[in-house]
Structure 1
């Protein structure tokens, strides 16, 4: 091969290498996104984070926003913008589109429902915006990291607690589910069904959807009470719906006939830990808001130019009358 031919071959190879690297901010869906992307300017940079919240009607979600705000206040490089989708998938899609247009440095999202939010989350990710998904999932893996509890495990723990501790001799359970289409709803249902298998005498006799809201949980429980003369346990997918169910039962004088179990265990006066301590709920299971962890992950990506795990699973624990007061004091020392 003469020198001229060798030179042409080398040029062609170099061109192919450059083409393979890509020169735009777009990426194909099967390419892994570099986590420490163009957004990372180190400690001297300033970063705008967009937080897209499914709704703030649930106390859990308001607490998540509050925890993100408090954690971000400790990182001088961060400015966080908040958007409330108010349980409207179309609005949440528009909120994320707006953040993309604003060219934010990182997106945090807790999706209202998985499927309707998947495409716009992927769009942000494909444009090089790191994406942290909290609590509720999207379909596929076009995001930088997911942070949340293991909802199957939480449901399983709740089911075992009912089967072994609350109803060792069996009994009737009604289940008040969260919003259909939100991944925690399906996973908490699946886990509970697995957990109660430990006791074949425990039966789920009716279910209803309370959409995570206290008022809807109360309305659904009112109908369940009329249709079911014997209810031993109410398993609700979050504490507000469990409290709503308790209020419905109390209104007809049946609250002492049954036990009420929820999930979230917020350490606030209106939260599940206090409800257990005061006797309205028999038990709840902690479900971290992920806010502090999300900001820590954002700092690692944007300020430290580091990497994070694709999935960060946070633990749960049972709160009942034996530990409610102690845990509330630990989590909320101001009272």
Structure 2
């Protein structure tokens, strides 16, 4: 189901709750970056041009990434000059490198990429950029500065707010929890872990087990099942995305302990199988909406290729907390 992602970043001071702010992406004044002076000017042909965009996706096993592709496809339909070609790396760094090389052979006009892992994709992204092809990096990052614009939300901050929510609302007296991380080499996994550690600091929260779920529900379920058997004292689970949180919930339900555990996730997709419905239906205590950046990527591509505008190096997007109290409203907003 297509949705519109949200943009901009705002954090309230009340219990670490993230609040909804504007519906627009930020620009250079709050990204802390100057104007981009890379290959965008040479790539621009104006409204009379036609453009082929290559979209290299890390994988389509995560609902979030399929939604990102859907958002790009839907937004691109509104720009008749654009043709978008999609490639699925299937969580394989080598395949994603080959996908980008294939796009370069096809002489694409712009590359959009959400890297599987940062380091292995850095060189091929730089190769595209050095050829004068504008590169938009979504959500996950590459190393260095050889790209036109990165678009995403603040993963350290979202992890921090998840930690504060769990510490202040779920376990205000302290307690023992498990953490399920995403793919180890992807930048959001480290950033959401670092932020979470900041959020729970000083709240007597003990992370008794940290496991890798690779962003996938099935692996999250397997890992959680092993954790619950090894650490029956666990009171809550922080998962770096909603599918892994749902997997942990299923493991807990199979073990008959789901009623005494609390689950917090990230992504908040407003689709029937997404995190907002999981909160509304009581499987998760909370999730945090993390925009896909699909619509914003097409907007940036239009500015570069058709409007001949320069872009800030970073476009920071808004995120928001979803609890039982506002889940129905958040779901409706996401589908408006």
Normalised to the residue count of structure 1, the TM-score between the two structures is 0.89
Q: Number of aligned residue pairs: give it.
A: 301
For 1:249 and 1:56, the matched residues in 2 are separated by 26
Residue 285, structure 1, aligned to residue 280, structure 2? no
Task: Check whether the contact 1:176–1:241 (CA below 8 A) recurs between aligned residues.
Answer: yes
Matching residue of 2:121: 117
- Is 1:189 the equivalent of 2:193? yes
What SS does structure 2 have at the residue aligned with 1:226?
Answer: helix
- Alignment of 1:136 onto 2:140: yes
User: For the Cα contact (< 8 Å) 1:108–1:133, is it kept in 2?
Assistant: yes
Stretch of structure 1 that moved more, 33-42 or 254-263: 33-42
Alignment of 1:84 onto 2:88:
yes
SS at structure 1 position matched to 2:265? strand
Q: What displacement does 1:34 show? A: 3.3
Aligned 1:59-78 pairs, distance under 5 A: 59-78=63-82
Tell me if structure 2 keeps the 8 A contact 1:35–1:307: no
Measured in 1, the distance between the counterparts of 2:333 and 2:137 equals 28
Q: 1:261 aligns with which of 251, 260, 264?
A: 264
8 Å CA contact retained: 1:282, 1:321 = yes
4+ long deviations beyond 6 Å:
none
Give 1:203's aligned residue. 206
Distance 2:215 2:68 in 1: 15
CA distance in 2, matches of 1:47, 1:321: 44
The equivalent of 1:36 in structure 2 is 40
Structure showing the higher helix proportion among its residues: 1
Structure with higher Rg: it is 1
State whether residues 41 and 310 of structure 2, in contact with CA within 8 Å, keep that contact through their aligned partners in structure 1.
no
Spell out the pairing of 1:287-306 with structure 2 (5 A cutoff).
287-306=290-309
Query: Any idea what SS the aligned residue of 2:144 has?
Result: coil
How far did residue 198 of structure 1 move? 4.0
Are 2:74 and 1:54 aligned?
no
Cα deviation, residue 36, structure 1:
3.0
- Scaled by the length of structure 2, the TM-score of the pair is 0.88
Between 1 and 2, higher relative CO (CA 8 Å, sep ≥ 6) is seen in 2
- Structure 2 residues without counterparts, runs of 5 or longer: 1-35
CA contact (8 A) 1:33 1:128 kept: no
- 1:33 is displaced (CA, Å) by 5.0
Give me the whole-angstrom Cα distance separating, in 1, the residues matched to 2:109 and 2:37: 14
8 Å CA contact 2:56–2:99 kept in 1: the answer is yes
The 8 Å contact of residues 231 and 257 in structure 1, kept in 2 or not, is answered as: no
Which residue of 2 is the match for residue 234 of structure 1? 237
| 1:105 Cα deviation from its structure 2 partner | 0.2
What SS class does the counterpart of residue 266 from structure 2 fall into?
Answer: strand
Match of 2:13 in 1: none
Pairwise CA distance, 1:159 = 0.4
User: Residue 187 of structure 1: CA displacement?
Assistant: 0.2
Matching residue within 180, 185, 189 for 2:184: 180
1:190-243 deviations in whole A, cap 9, x for unaligned?
0000000141x1111101000000000000001001100111110000000000
